[in-house]
Chains A and B, each alone.
Chain A
């Protein structure tokens, strides 16, 4: 995953006149570059495909719930496999285990208060915490009503419950700043990311999402097709690691 790529992998490139003060800046990445256009072969940072085995963030109960949710958001039918078989739960797990889950790039300083809708999310919880809180509250809610877990409900009951989360009619009473609707939006967004992102992130298995819509993926050169108006593109998708 790109967030896992440590900046330290990046080389300190030769500099024609590096200021000594910067060279001494104990392991810091600050650099002085002058008199040269620094470039070095093989210095790129290709993304690392996720480990497909096991779970890095979700507990077994959470796995069951998330797999059930992604399979209702993207159900299996004649058009494609469902969200679970496409790897959406694995995708979300790996995202939550990385920088995305920790909001490490976001502004997370207080004071915290509920803002206006135009001011965006203002809660203290990072995506990790939002999933933990939301999934727990969802299953608590299921148990009070039906005495089962979400994963064990019949598909049409699952759909009804998801529709309740989406509309906000079902209020899970989540943490400060986190509405039930916002929790649903987070899960929906991440599920769609998993279905349509490059397969190296754990979802979109077999490029199923791209094949569904006819997106050619990482091809990067359409000069031969730009003037073929209203003509289907003849080639299937390829992924970053050359899956086709």
Chain B
């Protein structure tokens, strides 16, 4: 029997990015908040210690900071006709674990989504006709960019983001991204210093009439004191960023931005190494009464609370809803149900690898989000009338690491071992760079999340099952993007170039991105969304579901800027509306 604990105002599952934001905002309103986090406590000095953080094997290859599948795995298949098998190791994407969540070991690309993506269905139907969207299951998000602008701003100023505005209140600014939505003020910090590869790329792109800009990076270009009064240091371009915690307090993470303030509050508590098993509903199923969790000694506890926040990362949130009976599971055969619907990923296959002679790219002089990029072929910035797809990609070139276990390019045709391999590796390490396209991922009826019928976790609960493949629309997009990469690559004058694009059959083995979106999508109507515009469950009104699970589709961008903005937006709605009148904030 679970031991019943004293009541709390707010119970949060997970203390990563969204959990930290919600806890900080709601404790400010005087609420008594507890976060239940299944991983360990982590702090910079101890766990991201400069003495041993630069260890590629331990952190990047053996993935020490990540969720281990022995704790929670998932199964995958490419279509409903196949039998899903467990991903015995995480490798295509790498969920976080422990205080800070994946916010510890992200790169720091901190984007806003394009205004039209929040109304993708309406916008694209109007411009290209419904037929173009036949294969897709696009929906509007029930919110506008303008509504979210202040929340984006808040997240960027908590994170301390290095960048250059391209659109200030409607005025287009030179050197920034001219295609972005209007922002109310400049980035908190100037752009990072650009490496050689990025300047070659930017020069070539400008020569082609394109619009390169330094990508927004939550790696500090200068010392910064954030909007909560927490100080961050200058990034040293150390090259151990993605998959690592930052030892220099230079990368925005919950540890370097929010926790120093939050942890000192007496109305906040975190319980670490405690895993939420289930959200318990009241008999009428309309509200939740408590959370059941288990500690490392195997003891179960029941933690009652008035408001329950799922902040466990999108995929985990969806599984928790399915395990707890929150909302209705999506069925791809009927198209009914919303939990698990519109699962999307990121279409990463477009790349141009460039090989030179006699250069020194110094790939180890690198930072998580150090890149120059362009949006000329992203989202609906360009006219798709004569094309056979919708969506696009951000195209970029930069250095994020030169760590040699994972990063040893050789020209095509080189042996993978032996004397020829060694010679080519020694010659190419300083002579290679790449341009990549981070492509949109649009929803289809057959891509979804549900509970696996066979495989169970260590507590005997069903694993999450991912059914996903790249839609044909997105593959056509990827080919088009690769054509653009080839043009830019050619203008960069390499000795040799290899261009590739995404192909059918999502492979769970090579790392792609940890940008899993959808499954508890937001919207204006309960038949096509699991949560309303405030991320409140349509069915269980004191449960809010934070994270990229709320996306209806993923655009050609990293998700966390929008995840952070939606977290501030939801926190404000809870504070200003829900606390005054608990219950559904939007009538179904």
**What residues of chain A have their CB less than 8 Å away from a CB belonging to chain B?**
2-3, 7, 10, 13, 16-17, 19, 21-22, 25-40, 43-47, 72-75, 77, 79-80, 100, 103-109, 111, 113, 115-122, 159, 162, 166, 188, 191-193, 196-198, 201, 209-210, 212-223, 225-227, 229-233, 240
Contact = CB atoms under 8 A, between A and B. Distances in A.
B173 interface: no
A227 B402 CA distance: 17
Interface stretch (B48-56, B136-144, B161-169, B527-535): B48-56
A188 B430 CA distance: 23
B89 A106 contact: yes
Contacts of B62: 2-3, 100
Contacts of A26: 297
A113 B85 contact: yes
18 contacts: A16-B266, A19-B269, A19-B271, A33-B41, A33-B269, A34-B268, A35-B266, A75-B422, A105-B70, A116-B82, A119-B87, A197-B56, A209-B404, A213-B426, A218-B54, A220-B54, A220-B238, A226-B365
Interface in B227-283: 234, 236-240, 247-248, 259-260, 263-266, 268-274
Interface string B338-350: 0000000000000
A240 B49 CA distance: 11
Interface in B416-460: 416-419, 422-423, 425-426, 429-430, 454-456
B296 A25 contact: yes
B87 A188 contact: no
Among A13, A215, A217, the most chain B Cβ lie within 10 Å of the Cβ of A215
B73 interface: yes
A68 B302 CA distance: 58
A222 B236 contact: yes
Of listed B57, B85, B418, B454, residue having the most chain A CB within 10 A: B57
B56 A196 contact: yes
A216 B365 CA distance: 10
B408 interface: yes
Given A2-B58, A37-B263, A105-B70, A30 B296 contact: yes
Contacts of B53: 220
B70 A106 contact: yes
Contact of B270 (A32, A77, A197): A32
Contacts of A215: 364, 402-404, 429
Given A30-B274, A221-B237, 6 more contacts: A19-B271, A28-B299, A38-B41, A117-B507, A196-B56, A215-B364
B223 interface: no
B422 A120 contact: no
Nearest to B263: A37
A5 B18 CA distance: 30
A237 B244 CA distance: 20
Contacts of B299: 21, 25, 28
A225 B193 CA distance: 10
Interface in B475-523: 505-509
A16 B264 CA distance: 10
A47 B58 contact: yes
B91 interface: yes
A36 B64 CA distance: 26
A19 to B, nearest CB: 8
A196 B455 contact: no
Given A38-B41, A117-B507, A220-B238, A46 B49 contact: yes
A118 B418 contact: no
A108 B270 CA distance: 30
B272 A222 contact: no
Interface residues of B, number: 96
Contacts of B87: 107, 119-120
Contacts of B360: 230-233
B88 A28 contact: no
Given A33-B270, A39-B45, A213-B429, A188 B57 contact: no
B43 interface: yes
A39 B68 CA distance: 25
Given A22-B271, A25-B297, A116-B78, A2 B88 contact: no
A120 B88 contact: yes
Given A162-B417, A225-B365, A34 B270 contact: yes
B46 A107 contact: no
Contact of B237 (A31, A166, A226, A240): A226
B365 A122 contact: no
Contacts of A118: 76, 78, 505-509
A107 B70 contact: yes
Given A39-B46, A213-B425, A105 B51 contact: no
Given A104-B70, A118-B78, A226-B195, A21 B237 contact: no
Interface class of chain B by DSSP: loop
Contacts of A25: 295-297, 299
Nearest to A43: B46
Contacts of A214: 429-430
B208 interface: no
A79 B297 CA distance: 53
B456 A109 contact: yes
A215 B402 CA distance: 7
A240 B51 contact: yes
A223 B238 CA distance: 8
A95 to B, nearest CB: 9
Closest 3 CB pairs of A and B: A28-B297, A30-B295, A107-B73
A193 B61 contact: yes
Contact of A197 (B88, B260, B405): B405
Interface in B71-85: 73, 76-78, 82-85
Contact of B51 (A3, A46, A77, A212): A46
Contacts of A233: 360, 362, 364-365
A137 B263 CA distance: 56
Given A220-B247, A221-B238, A31 B273 contact: yes
Most buried by B among A79, A162, A196: A196
Nearest to B84: A119
Interface in B161-202: 193, 195-196, 199
B385 interface: no
B263 A33 contact: yes
B3 interface: yes
A44 to B, nearest CB: 4
A44 B295 contact: no
Contacts of A74: 417, 422
A35 B85 contact: no
Q: Which of B41, B266, B422 has the most A CB atoms < 10 Å from its CB?
A: B422
A206 to B, nearest CB: 15
A223 B240 CA distance: 14
Given A39-B43, A230-B196, A30 B297 contact: yes
A109, A111, A113: residue with the most chain B Cβ atoms closer than 10 Å:
A109
B239 A119 contact: no
Contacts of A222: 236-239, 362, 364-365
Point out which of B236, B269, B365, B429 has the most chain A C-beta atoms below 10 A from its C-beta. B365
Nearest to B193: A226
A25 to B, nearest CB: 4
Given A74-B422, A104-B70, A201 B57 contact: yes
B71 to A, nearest CB: 8
A91 B49 CA distance: 24
A15 B55 CA distance: 31
B191 to A, nearest CB: 12
